[in-house]
Every structure is written in C-alpha cells, then in structure tokens.
Chain A
Amino acid sequence: MPQALAMRTSAPPRPRRAGPAAEPALVRWILMATALAFLALFLALPLVVVLTEAFRKGVGVYAAALRDPDALAAVRLTLLTAAIAVPLNLVFGVAAAWSIAKFTFPGKQLLVTLIDVPFTVSPVIAGMMFVLLFGAQGWFGPWLADHGIGIVFAVPGIVLATIFVTVPFVARELIPLMQEQGTEEEEAAMVLGASGWQTFRRITIPSIKWGLLYGVIVCNARAMGEFGAVSVVSGHIRGVTNTLPLQVEILYNEYHLAAAFAVASLLALLAIVTLVARSLVEWFELHRRTDTTHEQETTA
C-alpha cells in the first residue's frame, strides 16, 4: 500500500564537526546501518519483488494484464473515487482547519476529536458501518431499495467509505499550520479594505498552499490505496465495484500471480510518484519555514 511505503524525508544532514555531546562514531554507524537495513528489508525489497513478479512472464503478459477490461475498469473506478473524495476532503479540510484555527466556538474540541475518528477506527469497521446504515438489512436499506438507490455494493458506497477514511488528511495538515500563523495577516487585509473572499484568496490560501498541497497528495494516495473499508462495501463485482487494490486481491486469490503483480505495480508506481511529490513539497515547505524562523529571529 502506498502510504506504507511513504515516509517523511528529512532535511539533508549538515556537515558538522562532532561536538562534545556527539555520540561515538561506532554508535552512529550502528544506528544508521540498522535504519537502512530495516528500510531495505521492509520497503525497498517488496517494491523490487512486485516489479520482478510483474515482469516474470515477460512484457507481453504484463501489458495484457493491464489491458484486461476488468483491470481497466478498476483503474477507472479508482480514479473516479479519488476525483470525488479528494476535492470534497479538500473543501472540508480547509473549512474545518479555518474554523478551528481562527475562531472559538462551542464544540470546537469535539470537532477536533471527530476529525481524528477515521484514524482511530479500523477501516473494516468503517466499511461495516456503511453496510449497517445503507445495506439491504441496514437502517436506510428498505427506503433506499424502494427508491432504487444502490449504495452498498455499488460505486456510491465505495466513494463514501473512501471519503470517510481520508477525512483527517487535509484538515490535520492545515490545523497546526493555520494556528501557528494566527489571524493578524487576515485582520491586516480586512483593515486595508479587502473583502472576505479577497482575504481568503490573496492572504490565507497563499500562506497555506504548501501544507494544502501536501495534504492533498497524501489524501490522494490513501484514497487510491484504501483496501479495508472499500473491500467491505464493494461486494467485489468485477468490472463494476472493484478498485485497484481489490482487483489485485482477486487476481492473487485466483493464482493469476503475474496479472496481480502487474496491477500492483500500478499502485507501486503511485507510491513512487507520491513519494517524489511529497519530497518536493516538503522541500519547498522547509524552505518557507526556514524563512519564517529567520524572520522570528531577527524580530526578537
């Protein structure tokens, strides 16, 4: 899964002399070697395995597996799901972070806690919750059936489950950022005559854009890679309700190993793209934060 591969990259270590508080060289080497060995074993190796298995029977088989109608349907559904879930979470995340960071209102702490619920609940439980609500035997099941609306074992259920598990990503990224920035710049803009929308577009958005982009990238990776919650509500109807991760599972269970790994390689590709995008955004963000720190130092 892409988010398992993604990890926070840190700033390149500055070359410096070992100070009096530095650890002995041996200790440092052991720590570094342990970390690298761990990464190689648990992150790099699986990626290599996925790619070798995918091409084991040749490029022809690989291409054929990706051209399979069910695989293409899975790609389309995954893209569709992400295309709905990510923008919705973007809007929700900005709205939630804005209200939490810039205003005080009753129930604010509750909202902060609720945003974290998807992080603390197992995705399978989330999926089952939707089945209990919208399934044939669920609370709203009969009403939905009467009106011919299918949610569970259909595309809407997959989208709902995906939105649920990705809710925290954008909001969580923005809340600390907006809290740190405070409201003075917005106030300054308003005093200068800017309308609410002008203030938002010209002041708020530019100052959170890197954090926002970062949140969107991570949210997207999760939306495309989500398995548990989607698996429960999907019903695994080939070519209709299978997303990429579900398609991989089906192929694997049916011993189509080369095809399974070929489709999996798409998700691995997504992981690599996400990693690169994340690193780029973090690099820019780090740049900005260094500026801000510098600013605070000279003010003090």
Chain B
Amino acid sequence: MSIEVRDVSKVFVGSQALNGVSLEIPAGELVALLGPSGSGKTTLLRIIAGLEAPDSGTIHFHGEDATERHVRDRRVGFVFQHYALFRHMSVLENVAFGLRVRPPSTRPNEAEIRRRAHDLLRLVQLDGVAGRDPSELSGGQRQRVALARALAVEPNVLLLDEPFGSLDAKVRKELRRWLRRLHDEIHVTSVFVTHDQEEALEVADRIVVMNEGRVEQVGTPEEVYEHPASEFVYRFLGDVNLFHGRLVRPHDVELARTAQGAGAVLATVRHLRPFGAVVRVELDGLDGGQTIEVEVARERYVELALQKGDQVYVSPREVDPPHRFGRERPA
C-alpha cells in the first residue's frame, strides 16, 4: 500500500520537529528515513503510524486520507527501537497478541491463532524459542520477535524505528541483510528510520535524507550518494574534504610526490591505516592546518612508499560536475 505525506508540520514544546514535509512512498518499496538525531525522522515515522498527530498536513494510505484514523485502525506494523516486547508474555503470546485483541467477529479461533504465530516465528527463524520469555532472548532475537509480532496483523505498511540501533556491529550487519531478503519475500511497503548512512545505502530501495525537520533529498542510494542535492546530503553521506571551496570525497583525492596542477596543496602525512585493498591516509594541510582524509589504492600506496611524516602534494581529482552547492566557503 502506498503512503503519501502531504505538507506535514509538527511542533513540540519550543522546537519545530517537522516543517512542511511532503513525501511519496510507492507500494512495495523499502524506504529509509536517514538523518542525524533531531532531524525529525522518528517523528515522521510516528505520525505515519498514528502515534503522533501532525499539527498540519495529511497522511494518505493508498490515496485515502488516513490522518484522522486512529492508530489501531491503520493496520500498520511498528517495530520500536527498543522492541517494546510484552515482558510478561511468552514469545508466542507476543506474536499472537495482535490476533487475540481482534473483535470476536474477525478473530481467528485458538488453533488458527497459534498456527499463524508459529508460522511467523518460523519466518523469522525463531520457532524454537516460542515458549520463552522475551528476557531470555538476545537483542537480535528480540528484534526478530518484534518484527514477527508486527507482521502478525498483516499490516498494510511496516514501520521500523532504528531497527538495528541497539545491536552490536556483527548482528546488525546480519540482520539488515536478513531484513532486505525478508522484504524481497513479503513485499510489504516498509519505512525504516536510521542515522547510519551505510545501513540506508545497503538496505533501502530509496532513501529520504532529512535534516532539521525537512526533506533534503529523495532518491535511490546511488542517486543520493553520487548526485547529492545539497551540501548537507553530500557531507552526511560520507567523509568530505574541502579544497578551495569545493567538497571532495576521500577517494577523489590524489596524492603525489611532485606538484600536479594548480589545485595541489602540500600536506604532511599524520596517520596511515594500511589494511585491506584501500589505504586510508590522514594528512595535515600545511597552509591552513586542516585535516585531509584520503583513500588510495594499495598499489598507489606501495608505489609512493608513504611514511608517517612525509610531505606530499594533495590534489582533488577532476569530478564532473564539481560539487559546490551555492556557498563559496561552506561552514
């Protein structure tokens, strides 16, 4: 089911959480709301769910105005950042909850409820722990139970608030690949909130970059990374260096032993991280003392025989078009 957000604004005591946000999410897509903390992404997600009401603007599900619809009638699946599993219920009962609270006319019978809860637990590969309490599960398992519980009501849209936020790095990577595969399998329109650009780039079909209560850019991961619409997006989606008012990614910087072209700057190698196919080099520019981050291929690193303390010339590779974003010297 498609979601449309039209000109939504929300003010919390003293601060503008959302400022005229409009957004279209086509049916079946997996969309990331990406932004720093305080950018309004979680507020937007909660407004779509119906957990918060917008001060102005409307929310449409499948073309229908759902702004006034109560959260319990919206049929959204919501996965909370800290899972919010019912701690006094078993894993199975957590998953079955959405079916049990239905009015008697639409409630499946006991056997059917149990069958469906078990099916969902199998889907998230957790049928083995159906009888346990949530407190007995690991973080990654709880996350999957929360997902199964949200899916039990056959939601029109699935909303996830920082779904991998409180997991350790390894589990996080596994789970996001798993979520991607799950989405390819069940194809429910899904929106997840994240502040981790890598996560958004890896998982989402489409990324909505948010900043200070506004949408900065909407696009595929490639579009927002390669063609950022604003300086904010460019900076937020990766490390950048500043050369004469131009922003340059670390892998678009070249190092040389001799001056090459007019843009070259002399800098001292401060730190080297010679692991893997790409070597990261941190340098101090001699003119302004600014830090420059550079990624060079291993062969180039060997060729240059870089050592800590070396002085080398740093120049931006010509990219087309250069990223300037209006301001001469960005802050």
Q: Does B125 contact A (CB under 8 A)?
A: no
A184-201 contacts to B, CB under 8 A, are 184-185, 187-195, 198
A192 touching B101, Cβ below 8 Å: yes
Q: How far is the CA of A143 from the CA of B59 in the complex (A)?
A: 58
Which residues of chain A come closer than 8 Å to B134, judged between CB atoms? 295
Chain B residues contacting A202 (CB-CB under 8 Å) are 97, 101
**Are B86 and A194 interface neighbours, CB within 8 A?**
no
Residues of B with C-beta under 8 A to A188: 78, 80, 84-86, 149
List chain B residues, Cβ under 8 A from A190: 51, 71-72
Q: Which residue of A lies closest to B168 (CB)?
A: A300
Q: Is B98 an interface position by the 8 A CB rule? A: yes
Chain A residues closer than 8 Å to B49, beta-carbon distance: 191
Q: Which residues of A contact B152 (CB under 8 A)?
A: 192
Could you give, for residues 128-146 of chain B, a 1 whenever the CB lies within 8 Å of some chain A CB and a 0 otherwise?
0000011100110010000
CA–CA, A30 to B138, complex, Å? 45
Looking across the interface, which residue of chain B has its beta carbon closest to that of A198?
B101
B166 within 8 A of A: yes
- A68 CB within 8 Å of chain B: no
Of B72, B85, B86, B139, the contact of A193 (CB 8 Å cutoff): B72
* B187 within 8 A of partner (CB): no
With both chains docked as a complex, state the minimum distance between the C-beta of A171 and any C-beta of chain B, in angstroms: 22
Interface size class for chain B? Answer: 20 to 34
Q: Determine if A185 and B84 form an interchain contact, defined as CB atoms under 8 angstroms apart.
A: yes
Task: List B19-67 residues whose CB lies under 8 Å from chain A.
Answer: 49-51
A192 touches B138 (CB 8 A): no
CB distance from A292 to the nearest CB of B (A): 7
B142 CB contacts on chain A under 8 angstroms? 299
B135: chain A residues at CB < 8 Å are 291-292, 294-295
Q: Give complex CA distance A202, B142 in Å.
A: 20
Which residue, of B75, B80, B85, B88, has the highest number of chain A Cβ atoms within 10 A? B88
**A-side contacts of B101, CB under 8 Å:** 189, 192-195, 198, 202
| Residues of chain B within 8 A of A292, CB atoms compared | 87, 135
Residues of B within 8 A of A298 (CB): 138-139
- Chain A's closest residue to B152 (CB) is A192
A-B CB pair tally, cutoff 8 Å: 77
Q: A-facing mask of B75-95, CB < 8 A → 1, else 0?
A: 111101010111110000000
In the complex, residue of chain B having the shortest beta-carbon distance to the beta carbon of A207: B88
Quick one: which of B71, B82, B86 has the most chain A CB within 10 A?
A: B86
Q: Check A191 against B72 for contact (C-beta < 8 Å).
A: yes
**Contact residues of A between 254 and 300, Cβ < 8 Å to B:** 291-292, 294-295, 298-300
Q: Is B300's CB within 8 Å of the partner chain A?
A: no
**Complex Cα spacing A29 to B159, Å:** 59
Distance in angstroms between the alpha carbons of A189 and B153 in the assembled complex: 11
Residue A206 interfacial (CB < 8 Å): yes
**How close is A105's CB to chain B, nearest CB, in angstroms?**
13
- Chain B CB within 8 A of A203 CB: yes
Q: Is the interface on chain A under 10, 10 to 19, 20 to 34, or 35 or more residues? A: 20 to 34
Contacting residues of chain A (28-73) with chain B, CB-CB under 8 angstroms: none
Chain B contacts of A195 at CB under 8 A?
72, 101
Q: Is B102 an interface residue (CB 8 A)?
A: yes
Q: What chain B residues lie within 8 Å of A194 (beta carbons)?
A: 72, 97, 101
User: Which residue of B50, B82, B153 is within 8 Å of A192 (Cβ)?
Assistant: B153
Contact B72–A206 (Cβ < 8 Å): no
Q: Which residues of B contact A299 (CB under 8 A)?
A: 82, 139, 142, 166
Bound state CA distance, A185 and B152, in angstroms?
A: 16
Distance between Cα atoms of A195 and B102 in the complex (Å): 9
Q: Complex formed: what's the CA distance from A300 to B76 in Å?
A: 28
Q: In angstroms, how far is the closest chain A Cβ from the Cβ of B202?
A: 23
Q: How far is the CA of A191 from the CA of B152 in the complex (A)?
A: 12
Interface residues in B102-151 by Cβ distance below 8 A to A read 102, 133-135, 138-139, 142, 149-150
* Chain A nearest CB, measured from B302 CB (Å): 42
Closest chain B residue to A188, Cβ basis? B84
B155 vs chain A, min Cβ distance (A): 9
Q: Determine which residue in B74, B80, B152, B166 has the highest number of CB atoms from chain A within 10 A of its CB, and name it.
A: B80
Closest CB in chain A relative to B43 CB, distance in Å: 14
**Inter-chain contacts of B166 with A (CB < 8 A):** 299-300
Complex interface: chain A residues within 8 A of B73 (CB): 193
Nearest B-chain residue to A191, judged by Cβ: B78
Min CB–CB distance B78 → chain A (angstroms):
4
Chain B residues 221-244 with CB under 8 Å of chain A are none
The docked-state distance in angstroms from the alpha carbon of A188 to that of B153 is 12
Kindly provide the distance from the CB of A220 to the nearest chain B CB, expressed in whole angstroms: 25
A295 vs B138: C-alpha distance when bound (angstroms): 9
A47 and B198 CA atoms in complex are apart in Å by 69
17 A-B residue pairings within 8 Å (CB atoms)? A184-B80, A184-B82, A188-B85, A189-B101, A191-B49, A191-B77, A192-B101, A192-B150, A192-B153, A195-B72, A195-B101, A291-B135, A294-B135, A295-B87, A295-B135, A298-B138, A299-B142
B interface with A by C-beta (< 8 Å): 49-51, 71-78, 80, 82, 84-88, 97-98, 101-102, 133-135, 138-139, 142, 149-150, 152-153, 166
Known: A188-B86, A198-B101, A291-B87. 6 other contacts (CB 8 A): A184-B84, A188-B80, A190-B51, A191-B51, A194-B72, A206-B88
| Smallest CB-CB A-B distances: 7 pairs | A184-B84, A192-B98, A194-B101, A188-B84, A295-B135, A191-B78, A206-B88
